[in-house]
């Protein structure tokens, strides 16, 4: 069991003692006196999502659709309960209007007035920042930035077994490295704290009690032994063995406490009391359109564990509501849990946010990219491998999203161009070669000065201690910017230029430094000695001059020199190479070969 401490800079102005204060959670003030009453009185009229403040723009097709629904249900005006439901449905369908607007490129509904979208990234601190999580964060962040909305970081630390402070730090570090910042969250006070789920347990309990009071949830006192016994009984009846998967046989848990209301002084979980009407339950997804399934397919899932800690499907709903999240963008693996969450929203009379379920990122084996099977799933592993943060962002943003034939984007361009309408539906496979080529592009086209700064730590790691963030390094970066796919590679390439002397490659020597090669080297040396300046621009012509004077091929001149000063047959242009080395070191290496 771990306990997550506050971040050093997290204001943490909320303690359990003031959890119910007005300033902290406005609605909770009334809640205390009104448990058991109509939720509308506590939470405001159903169907009015506070994030938007007022009903949305009513598009004509939608109105028509609603009218059809009304007719099907036999007209309107049958009492307030039904009107509320009507209202709620109407508002619910307004999301479809938003979606239509968004998909058709009309973003006015967000840029005009107070309707700024609020998005969030809600990782659980149970490991490093995952590449899939990073893309989810990026897309949400990009959308928020583009629309002038708010990006919230919420920590879902309710898994007490696996959550660790180290993981939290790792995730924060990963986001920081990528340059994804947040407007509200750890270390950034916002209007709807706290941003750690473990700090608002009382809120979840309160909502759970409300649901129980309304018969929409129940206390389930079934012990673990009893439930395993139920499974065993089922297996026995079906003639299944211990190892058979009960799900495949259609096992469905059914609690004996489902319809009971007594409150016992015994440990229990709180379960949602699913009340299927034999209808479809579903939602409009920004990416997939209408998504639905039969409501009797859902079971009585757990809201609160025995230790009173909420489970994902519960905490998530309450937080998204409390934080007034307007759009939930998350991975496709959450589609099936969304149906359960919709049921909670409906039970509470809350309008759900707009959902967007992103395609998954798959490993080369075409399985969901996982931390265990795919080392490349770790964002920071790419930092260690010498990938530029922006290159990783550029690569990952295109995995499932497109802007015509464009592939390379600056961050500014992404903020300008990113939209959910062009997020695709199909899972994508992680392609390391492409990442490398994107990285190379930004190494090639990045600011050499910035690159030099970034390169320094990699040089340190490579054992180069005498490099500094100066003109020489910038020259080196320029010389190798078209020759390195990663910063690690670049550091390796640059390393020999910061050493004294060089190890000669035997094959290279045999090929280029035979007697003739050495003779040519002497000629070249004499020309170099005569130089008053030491720059690529004056060194390069020497090869040309010797070639015309002696009639030798340029290769016969440059290669012996190259082998002598670099030890091998490949390097940047000979002028750049010598300039980088400096006159003194160049002469030292030539003399070492000529033996004088």
Partner RNA sequence: GGCCCUGUCGUCUAGUGGCCUAGGACGGAGCCCUCUCACGGCUUAAACCCGGGUUCGAAUCCCGGCAGGGUCACCA
Query: Catalytic site residues?
Result: 371
- Does position 367 interact with RNA (CB under 7 A)? The reply is yes
Give Cα 471 distance to the centre of its chain: 36
Nearer to RNA, 48 or 590 (CB): 590
- Does position 427 interact with RNA (CB under 7 A)? The reply is yes
- Does position 126 interact with RNA (CB under 7 A)? The reply is yes
- Does position 425 interact with RNA (CB under 7 A)? The reply is yes
Residues numbered 58-97 forming contacts with RNA, rule: CB under 7 A: none
Find the shortest distance in angstroms from Cβ 17 to RNA.
24
DSSP letter assigned to residue 403:
B
Nearer to RNA, 244 or 469 (CB): 244
Q: How far apart are CA 467 and CA 495, in angstroms?
A: 9
- Does position 296 interact with RNA (CB under 7 A)? The reply is no
Residues numbered 198-227 forming contacts with RNA, rule: CB under 7 A: 222-224, 227
Burial status of residue 273 (CB atoms within 10 A of its CB: 0-12, 13-18, 19 or more): buried
Peptide bond into 194 cis (omega under 30): yes
Find the shortest distance in angstroms from Cβ 297 to RNA.
5
Nearer to RNA, 270 or 474 (CB): 270
Positive or negative torsion for Cα 247, 250, 251, 253 = positive
Give Cα 180 distance to the centre of its chain: 9
Stretch of 1-9, 41-49, 137-145, 244-252 lying at the interface with RNA (CB under 7 A) = 244-252
- Does position 322 interact with RNA (CB under 7 A)? The reply is no
Task: Work out which of 131, 171, 323, 362 binds RNA, going by CB under 7 A.
Answer: 362
Q: How far apart are CA 31 and CA 348, in angstroms?
A: 13
Q: Would residue 595 be called left, alpha or beta, if left means φ above 0 and alpha means ψ between -120 and 50 degrees?
A: left
Q: Which two tokens stand for residue 392?
A: 């990783």
Stretch of 232-240, 468-476, 513-521, 571-579 lying at the interface with RNA (CB under 7 A) = 571-579
Task: Work out which of 156, 184, 284, 585 binds RNA, going by CB under 7 A.
Answer: 156
Yes or no: say if 381 and 346 are a contact pair by the CB < 8 Å rule: no
Q: Which two tokens stand for residue 57?
A: 């723009």
Nearer to RNA, 52 or 313 (CB): 313
Q: Which position has the token pair 């010598």?
A: 578
Stretch of 48-56, 109-117, 348-356, 404-412 lying at the interface with RNA (CB under 7 A) = 404-412
Residues numbered 469-528 forming contacts with RNA, rule: CB under 7 A: 482-483
DSSP letter assigned to residue 162:
T
SS (H, E, C) 257-278: CCCCCCCCCCCCEEEECCCCCC
Q: Which two tokens stand for residue 347?
A: 């039970």
Find the shortest distance in angstroms from Cβ 162 to RNA.
6
Find the shortest distance in angstroms from Cβ 55 to RNA.
27
Find the shortest distance in angstroms from Cβ 74 to RNA.
27
Q: How far apart are CA 520 and CA 531, in angstroms?
A: 17
- Does position 111 interact with RNA (CB under 7 A)? The reply is no
């Amino acid at each position: 069991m771990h306990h997550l401490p506050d971040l050093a800079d997290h204001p943490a102005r909320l303690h359990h003692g003031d959890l119910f204060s007005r300033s902290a959670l406005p609605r909770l003030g009334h809640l205390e006196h009104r448990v058991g009453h109509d939720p509308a009185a506590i939470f405001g009229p159903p169907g009015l999502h506070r994030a938007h403040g007022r009903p949305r723009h009513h598009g004509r097709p939608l109105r028509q659709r609603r009218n059809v629904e009304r007719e099907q249900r036999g007209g309107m005006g049958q009492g307030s309960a039904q009107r509320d439901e009507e209202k709620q449905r109407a508002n619910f369908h307004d999301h479809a209007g938003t979606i239509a607007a968004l998909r058709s490129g009309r973003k006015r509904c967000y840029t005009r007035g107070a309707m700024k979208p609020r998005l969030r990234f809600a990782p659980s601190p149970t490991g490093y920042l995952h590449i899939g999580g990073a893309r989810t964060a990026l897309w949400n962040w990009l959308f928020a930035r583009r629309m002038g909305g708010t990006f919230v970081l919420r920590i879902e630390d309710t898994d007490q077994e696996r959550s660790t402070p180290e993981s939290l730090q790792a995730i924060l570090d990963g986001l920081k490295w990528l340059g994804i910042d947040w407007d509200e969250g750890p270390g950034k006070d916002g209007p709807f704290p706290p941003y750690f789920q473990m700090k608002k347990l009382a809120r979840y309990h309160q909502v759970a009690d409300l649901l129980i009071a309304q018969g929409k949830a129940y206390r389930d006192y079934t012990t673990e032994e009893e439930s395993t016994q139920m499974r065993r009984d089922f297996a026995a009846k079906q003639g299944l063995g211990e190892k058979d998967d009960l799900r495949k046989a259609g096992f469905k848990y059914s609690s004996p406490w489902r319809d009971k209301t007594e409150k016992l002084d015994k440990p229990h979980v709180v379960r949602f009391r699913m009340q299927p009407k034999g209808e479809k339950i579903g939602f409009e997804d920004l990416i997939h359109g209408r998504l639905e399934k039969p409501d009797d397919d859902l079971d009585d899932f757990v809201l609160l564990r025995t230790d009173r800690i909420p489970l994902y499907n519960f905490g998530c709903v309450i937080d998204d509501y409390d934080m007034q999240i307007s759009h939930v963008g998350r991975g496709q693996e959450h589609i099936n849990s969304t149906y359960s969450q919709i049921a909670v929203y409906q039970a509470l009379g809350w309008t759900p946010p707009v959902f967007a379920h992103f395609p998954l990122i798959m490993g080369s084996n075409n399985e969901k990219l996982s931390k265990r099977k795919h080392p490349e799933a770790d964002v920071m592993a790419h930092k260690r491998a010498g990938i530029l943060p922006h290159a990783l962002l550029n690569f990952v943003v295109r995995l499932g999203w497109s802007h015509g034939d464009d592939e390379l984007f600056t961050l500014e361009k992404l903020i300008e161009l990113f939209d959910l309408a062009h997020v695709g539906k199909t899972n994508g496979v992680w392609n390391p070669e492409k990442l490398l080529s994107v990285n190379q592009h930004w190494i090639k086209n990045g600011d050499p000065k910035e690159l030099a700064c970034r390169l320094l730590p990699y040089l340190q790691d490579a054992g180069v201690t005498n490099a500094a963030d100066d003109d020489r390094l910038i020259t080196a970066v320029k010389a190798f910017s078209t020759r390195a796919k990663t910063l690690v590679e670049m550091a390796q390439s640059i390393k020999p230029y910061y050493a004294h002397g060089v190890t000669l490659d035997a094959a290279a020597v045999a090929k280029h430094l035979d007697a003739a090669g050495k003779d040519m080297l002497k000629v070249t040396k004499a020309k170099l000695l005569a130089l008053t300046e030491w720059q690529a621009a004056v060194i390069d012509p020497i090869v040309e001059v010797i070639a015309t004077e002696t009639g030798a091929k340029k290769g016969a001149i440059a290669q012996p020199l190259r082998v002598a000063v670099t030890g091998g047959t490949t390097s940047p242009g000979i002028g750049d190479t010598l300039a980088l080395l400096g006159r003194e070191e160049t002469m030292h290496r030539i003399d070492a070969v000529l033996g004088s």
